[in-house]
A and B are shown apart, each in its own frame.
Chain A
Amino acid sequence: MEENNKFKPLEFKGSATEYFKIYIVNLFLSIITLGIYSAWAKVRKNRYLYSNTYMEGTSFEYTANPINILKGRLLVVGGYILFILVSDIFHLPIIAMVITLAFIIFIPYIIHLALKFRLRYVRYRGINFSYKNKTSKFYEFYIINILILNALTLGLAGPHNTNRFFDLYFNNAYFSDKKFQYEGKSWPFYKMWIKAFGLAFVLLILGVLIVVPITSSLKYNAGMDPAVATNIAVVMVLGIYAFMAVLGTFFAGVYFALQSNYVYEQTDIEDIAFKSEYKALKMGWIYFTNFLAVVLSFGLLGAWATIRLQKYKVENFYHTPIGDMQLQRVTQEQHSSFGEESSEFFDMDLG
């Protein structure tokens, strides 16, 4: 990266109240249509978030077609129902196993489709992003890195695999016909893991120091009313779950900040460089307080939390001036969104 290039931040213009209105109306419509409208809701919410993100005065655009999202969702729901029917109602374990096996075999393909979908429907100044790669590359990654390497190293290859994934992702991502370049190394990912896990470990110790005296004062004694004992047990289990959830979200935020800062710094396109200046503890704090706010408000503060996080992410993302590249206007083909939807449905969203 040249030092004389001046970094400028992106700008975010979304507001929590405005997003709240969109969120509520779309949630209502999704409920009364038994979830069918949720595909449209997703598009409207994404359009709001993308188009309130400005780079050099121009906003991004999210152009996905809700029908494609719906198709993907229906396919997944259909597959899931089929699986339940076969395994639980008709008790055909062999067919259920075949379905499970087919799913496992298709995972790399689904991830591949999801990445394609996610980039294909983002535009900037009328020009599309895209992802172009062979599906076989994903199978290679899946088999060599995820299955073999992870198993051989008992998971210690994790950070290396993460780096390999970003390599696979950014080095095949395009803006118009210009390719992104990612030059990350594996070692920094190990350092991030050590930092984040180290922090989680310290927090865990702190938590144990707080929780243990409380629980030991509530020790079960033989003469206790079973109903009271049961309640105490339930409260304790819930308390531990809550603590783990809180620790988990905080840790996720910390790790996300560390990873993003490194990954963006290693990524550029033509002579445009990127970087993010996310503060690890601040990001952890936002994740953690957002989680609390959403749970304690029964989801009412969900819109506020989304906007708050998005604002922090966008406003602390920087790039060097984009200049005046000559670009090709690529016409977009319609593709199925099966990949994206299935990954979202089973909550195995990546990146």
Chain B
Amino acid sequence: MIVEGLYHSNLITSKRVEVVFLESGELHVSAEDLSLHVRIDTLHISSRVANIPRVLEKEGFFTLEIADNDAIDAYLKRYGNKKNIIHMLEKKMRYSLLFLLMIFVLVYGYFMYGTALIASLLAPIIPDKYVEYLGQESFEYIDKNFLFQSRLSEKEKKLVQNSFARVEKNGKYKLFIRSSSSWIGANALALPNGYIIITDEMAELTAFNKDALSGIFAHEMAHVDKKHSLKNIAQTSLSSLAIFLFSGDISSGLATLSSTLLYSKYSREFEEEADNEAIKRLNSLHISTVPLARVLHKIAKESKLEEDENYHYFSSHPDMYQRIEKFKANSL
């Protein structure tokens, strides 16, 4: 077998040579003013990447650049060289398309199920001390930036506090009543350390119905018990980690878009779980779930949700009317 090559020694000039691959495992390199024999196993040969020239090097003496990859590979095969698996994978477009598909599946799976799974494994082993710290820090942040002193009367506050005490038996949770900025509105929040915040607007929305308020608190306590916000934090961190590690390769647009799209779905699952837990707690305390259903109905009406409107994505409300039905159906 004879191929063309370029011979480089201590001169920068490139010498065109003829390279003969001999049966004996030797190469014969020749040009007008050059003739040398060299054993193939004394050369360092660069591995194949697509069709870039191969460089055969006799360290400290010369390099030989050969463009005919197939000839070299065929020759090396006879001398027991291992196959270059990576190159074989990179060679065919259909393999690449298959890998592309697998990348999509992996990325989709990771953001859709992977982060949630890892987060649910991580949440129970996060030290209490850290959970405490996280809750405290985020409470201070929210309280300082989005919340104001409650403007409810002492009597109203007392009523809210009592509805809370009714479902809170073991002193794990702490209630905060605050007036809210328009951003938060009528809302109740649960932080990982057991702090529960209810806004004046929310209390007013329930028309200070004790059962409805207890229902809301039971729902928020379930978020804490099931470590939902902790899982959310872990999930977000896991996604950012993946985005951070691969941002050089995958466009961060893909990752960011998918995480915003997906997290609303996770919260839907969490909401459902919290609803179920709340129903259990209320039933065991013989508190009706119907007032809570009525409050939800009010919220749905105020945010102008149509009954047939499907809020599958971009919304943390699992189908509001479905929730309402569930509370009605499971009432004592």
Bind each other: yes
Per-residue 0/1 for B245-283: is the Cβ within 8 Å of any A Cβ (1 yes, 0 no)?
Answer: 110111101100000000000000000000000000000
B-side contacts of A322, CB under 8 Å: 12
B-side contacts of A299, CB under 8 Å: 249-251, 253-254
Q: Cβ of B250 and Cβ of A27 under 8 Å apart? A: yes
B171 within 8 A of A: no
Q: How many residues of B contact A (CB 8 A)?
A: 50
Please provide the chain B residues from 171 to 221 with a CB less than 8 Å away from any CB of chain A in the complex. 182, 185
B95 within 8 A of A: yes
Please judge, given known A-B contacts A24-B103, A25-B96, whether A48 and B86 are in contact too, CB under 8 Å: no
Tell me, rounded to whole Å, the shortest Cβ–Cβ distance linking A176 to chain B.
Answer: 8
B63 within 8 A of A: yes
A-side contacts of B63, CB under 8 Å: 125-126
Chain B residue with the shortest CB-CB distance to A40: B86
Q: Cβ of B49 and Cβ of A22 under 8 Å apart? A: yes
Q: How many residues of A contact B (CB 8 A)?
A: 53
Chain A residue with the shortest CB-CB distance to B253: A295
Q: Cβ of B50 and Cβ of A56 under 8 Å apart? A: no
Tell me, rounded to whole Å, the shortest Cβ–Cβ distance linking B72 to chain A.
Answer: 14
A57 within 8 A of B: yes
CA distance A166 to B107 in the complex (A): 41
Binds B, one of A140-148, A156-164, A327-335: A327-335
Q: Cβ of B182 and Cβ of A226 under 8 Å apart? A: yes
Q: Cβ of A227 and Cβ of B303 under 8 Å apart? A: yes
Tell me, rounded to whole Å, the shortest Cβ–Cβ distance linking B245 to chain A.
Answer: 5
B10 within 8 A of A: yes
Q: Cβ of B133 and Cβ of A21 under 8 Å apart? A: no
Contact of B254 among A35, A59, A298 (CB under 8 A): A298
Q: Cβ of B11 and Cβ of A324 under 8 Å apart? A: yes
Q: Is the interface of B mostly helix, strand, loop or mixed?
A: mixed
A61 within 8 A of B: yes
B322 within 8 A of A: no
B-side contacts of A47, CB under 8 Å: 49, 52
Please provide the chain B residues from 3 to 22 with a CB less than 8 Å away from any CB of chain A in the complex. 6, 8-14
Per-residue 0/1 for A1-36: is the Cβ within 8 Å of any B Cβ (1 yes, 0 no)?
Answer: 000000000000000011111101111111110010
Q: Cβ of A21 and Cβ of B93 under 8 Å apart? A: yes
A58 within 8 A of B: yes
Please judge, given known A-B contacts A18-B51, A20-B96, A57-B6, whether A127 and B250 are in contact too, CB under 8 Å: no
Number of CB contacts from chain A to chain B under 8 A: 127
B80 within 8 A of A: no
Q: Cβ of B49 and Cβ of A28 under 8 Å apart? A: no
Tell me, rounded to whole Å, the shortest Cβ–Cβ distance linking B52 to chain A.
Answer: 3
CA distance A17 to B97 in the complex (A): 12
Contact of A25 among B99, B106, B130, B304 (CB under 8 A): B99
B-side contacts of A48, CB under 8 Å: 49-50, 52
Contact of A35 among B55, B59, B246, B251 (CB under 8 A): B246
Q: Cβ of A28 and Cβ of B102 under 8 Å apart? A: yes
Which of B12, B60, B89, B251 gathers the greatest number of chain A CB atoms within 10 Å?
B12
B57 within 8 A of A: yes
Per-residue 0/1 for B32-66: is the Cβ within 8 Å of any A Cβ (1 yes, 0 no)?
Answer: 00000000000000100111110101011111010
Please provide the chain B residues from 51 to 95 with a CB less than 8 Å away from any CB of chain A in the complex. 51-53, 55, 57, 59-63, 65, 86, 89-93, 95
A206 within 8 A of B: no
A-side contacts of B99, CB under 8 Å: 24-25, 27-28
CA distance A32 to B102 in the complex (A): 10
Tell me, rounded to whole Å, the shortest Cβ–Cβ distance linking B303 to chain A.
Answer: 7
CA distance A89 to B127 in the complex (A): 10
Tell me, rounded to whole Å, the shortest Cβ–Cβ distance linking B84 to chain A.
Answer: 11
A323 within 8 A of B: yes
B-side contacts of A327, CB under 8 Å: 10-12
Q: Cβ of A324 and Cβ of B103 under 8 Å apart? A: no
Please provide the chain A residues from 48 to 103 with a CB less than 8 Å away from any CB of chain B in the complex. 48, 51-52, 56-59, 61, 89, 91
CA distance A295 to B39 in the complex (A): 50
CA distance A99 to B260 in the complex (A): 33
Contact of A298 among B13, B62, B65, B253 (CB under 8 A): B253
Q: Cβ of B59 and Cβ of A331 under 8 Å apart? A: yes
Please provide the chain B residues from 102 to 134 with a CB less than 8 Å away from any CB of chain A in the complex. 102-103, 106-107, 130, 133
Contact of A323 among B12, B46, B185, B249 (CB under 8 A): B12
Chain B residue with the shortest CB-CB distance to A296: B253
A199 within 8 A of B: no
B100 within 8 A of A: yes
Tell me, rounded to whole Å, the shortest Cβ–Cβ distance linking A260 to chain B.
Answer: 23
Q: Cβ of A125 and Cβ of B91 under 8 Å apart? A: no
CA distance A27 to B90 in the complex (A): 11
CA distance A300 to B86 in the complex (A): 20
Contact of A24 among B8, B96, B303 (CB under 8 A): B96
Please judge, given known A-B contacts A51-B53, A299-B251, whether A31 and B246 are in contact too, CB under 8 Å: yes
A326 within 8 A of B: yes
Q: Cβ of B250 and Cβ of A21 under 8 Å apart? A: no
Q: Cβ of A61 and Cβ of B55 under 8 Å apart? A: yes
Per-residue 0/1 for A284-305: is the Cβ within 8 Å of any B Cβ (1 yes, 0 no)?
Answer: 0000000000110111101000
Tell me, rounded to whole Å, the shortest Cβ–Cβ distance linking A317 to chain B.
Answer: 18
Q: Cβ of B10 and Cβ of A89 under 8 Å apart? A: no
CA distance A327 to B133 in the complex (A): 64
CA distance A160 to B67 in the complex (A): 44
B-side contacts of A17, CB under 8 Å: 93
Closest 8 CB pairs of A and B: A126-B63, A51-B52, A299-B251, A125-B8, A298-B254, A28-B99, A21-B96, A24-B96
Given contacts A21-B93, A59-B52, 11 further A-B contacts (CB under 8 A): A18-B50, A25-B96, A27-B103, A27-B250, A44-B86, A47-B52, A57-B6, A126-B57, A127-B12, A297-B251, A302-B251
Q: Could you list 12 examples of A-B contacts with CB < 8 Å?
A: A21-B93, A22-B49, A22-B90, A25-B86, A25-B99, A26-B90, A27-B103, A30-B249, A61-B55, A126-B8, A323-B12, A325-B12
